Amino acid sequence: MKNFIVPTKEQVSANNQEIFTNLEKMVGFVPNLYASFAYSENALGNYLTFQNGKSSLKAKEKEVVNLVVSQVNQCIYCLSAHTAIAKMNGFTDEQIIAIRKAEVDFDSKLSALAVLVKSIAENKGRADENALNNFFEAGYDKGNLIDVLLVVGDKTITNYLHALTDIPVDWPAVPAI
């Protein structure tokens, strides 16, 4: 039985209250999944530092990783959140569905990324050799591969957190595929 409710600002530590205030200023609200990190004294701050670290990946590339991993892990919370973010980054509804399926026909480089990420997520890091070769042939390098793994890890954390807590989705609903 999942006994997780979304903690309010008053229910979390002073440190997490400060983070909630910053999130409210930046995002306009505290996303429920972020709030659930605040059950821990340190997890929310640690996670946000990790998530916001520098990367060789562009914002659109990160969203491809986020959407593909969340689709593989069937995380409706993260699919909903990252669909909204992907739209803010210029992707259309049709492109987002294609990305979630790792069937990107509108950009060959993003296609190679999506196929590799799907292989990584489905095979617990043991990516298909052809997918890895296509990733490099598309113009990515070894540093990009490491940065892809960091985003896969980031998204796996939130996908698993939602699976364990079933915190309510507070983003616009997305279609199942």
| pLDDT over 70 percentage in the chain | 99
Q: How many CB atoms lie within 10 A of CB 26?
A: 8
Query: Where does CATH 1.20.1290.10 sit in the chain?
Result: 59-165
Q: Give CATH for domain 59-165.
A: 1.20.1290.10
pLDDT at 173 over 70: yes
Band the pLDDT of 134: cuts 50, 70, 90.
very high
17-47: pLDDT as tens digits: 999 999 999 989 999 999 999 999 999 999 9
